Structure 1
């Protein structure tokens, strides 16, 4: 059994709240750290919500200490990823046993630039190289199945607007499955199987052209995505078109990994679970 009994989830967004719900179902101690200006969160009974400035390491550490936190799970979005350094410092001050950085996307190992590079430095260098030596656990999930219509604009105009050829296969996992898996391994596996480990999930696998056919939608190739979050969508689609959207992608070799580095290799750690497919999730 896991040696972890008390968890702090930082951020109550699309993946933070599902993780809280999944952990709550396992009857462990949970505290949610929410920004002072964020809206009220609806959480399961017994989950305590504390509003705190993530960039204030001392304040965050005080919360971790007050709740005897074993594991900190950061679920801050890419815009707030810089706040993770302060959270790592807070975890060090509070003698936290494990830090789960905000990954929940494509593999970050080997990257040095942009948001993906920032994520890699947190888990691949900042946590490991620091004198504190806080162990970390990374979860690579690919794109959330939930977000496919948003990414390509299908929910707006019924088309699949994509950047590039759209032929590279990518990994997709439903947010609920990600949350369930995270809660499962953190509360069942021993510390030796969690510390400084990478878990590669994959609920389904498809190229953008495959998805267009699945949704019975016309595929339109564009140079970039415009409108709200257009820059982010363009970056995600561009990365996916190079193969980096697969959770088995190795940025060093520019190829798919094998064994425990293969896409979906961690799925087997949740025996008996039925992973949601894109078709089933979107009722196609």
Structure 2
């Protein structure tokens, strides 16, 4: 059983890219763990032994409240803002004590709507929803996931050696793998001694490694001396135009916004000290560790 006397049961909403990594860690720690799945989901999933699975309808408050009865903590890794807001309201009604919303990226506590992409501002709206219903929250800020970033979709094509960077590539960026995020979150829940105030969310600002994109390119070149690696540096102003054009290509604009935010220091420069020291035994993977594994 988990060491925490506060948290016994956890519900996980969203068992995809991140949730599928968090789930085994919750079970390993001994939490009674419920996975919420959509009733209309066509996904053929087999969950680890020991996980409870409940089908829910995010358009039905009673469906969500019933599924959350007796749950201490909800962890949401959903990308659907409306579904997450519905989950917040149901969690409050069901008596959930702590809600972990789908942050897991850049710090978002001080953002303005005019400054960010609609997807990112949706996170701020969920924070506001948590405060409005009076539900304690824990926000996890970890920068981009090291193990899902270095691919052609995000401009780092390891097949061709063509790398597209926004700006000069000299800005320090926080990097953390999904597994390291999951491990830290579960450890935190296992050792929790009190719940944060509903009026002010608790923050975990963690970092597996800190590297600029140029440093990462140098590491990649050293690991792949046989490859002709070529880097394209896209001017910030050009990237800003793409990021703002949400009408033409919403996903492309979001990817460009992310690359811009990393170049502008949004992953590390928000005035909150790292919380790595809360768990000295954490030992997260470095960027080089991940690139070696992907080689």
> TM bucket by the smaller chain?
0.7 to 0.9
SS of equivalent to 1:82? helix
Q: What's the secondary structure of 1:282's corresponding residue?
A: helix
Contact 2:136–2:196 (CA under 8 A) maintained in structure 1: no
How far off is 1:230 after superposition?
2.9
Question: Which of structures 1 and 2 has the bigger CA Rg?
Answer: 2
| Residue pairs, 1:1-284, within 5 angstroms | 1-35=4-38, 36-65=40-69, 68-77=70-79, 80-113=80-113, 114-123=118-127, 125-128=128-131, 130=132, 132-150=133-151, 151-192=154-195, 196-216=201-221, 217-222=229-234, 223-224=238-239, 229-246=251-268, 249-250=269-270, 257=271, 261-262=272-273, 265-283=274-292
Distance, in Å, in 2 between the alignment partners of 1:88 and 1:115 is 18
> How far did 1:51 drift?
2.4
Task: Name the structure 2 match of 1:254.
Answer: none
The Cα shift of 1:49 comes to: 1.7
CA contact (8 A) 2:174 2:209 kept: yes
Q: Could you tell me which residue of structure 2 aligns to residue 253 of structure 1?
A: none
Distance in 2 between the 1:234 and 1:34 partners?
31
Length-normalised TM-score, structure 2: 0.83
Secondary structure of the residue aligned to 1:99 is strand
SS of the residue aligned with 2:158? helix
Greater than 6 Å deviation, 4+ residue runs: 225-228
3-state secondary structure, aligned to 1:268: helix
Residue 50 of structure 2 aligns to a residue whose secondary structure is coil
Contact 2:81 2:126 (C-alpha < 8 Å) held by counterparts: no
Hey, what does 2:224 align to over in structure 1? none
The number of residue pairs the alignment matches comes to 264
TM-aligned CA distance change 1:194 to 1:269, over 3 Å: farther
The whole-number CA distance in structure 2 between the counterparts of 1:164 and 1:58 is: 48
In structure 1, the gaps of 5 or more residues are 251-256
User: What displacement does 1:14 show?
Assistant: 1.3
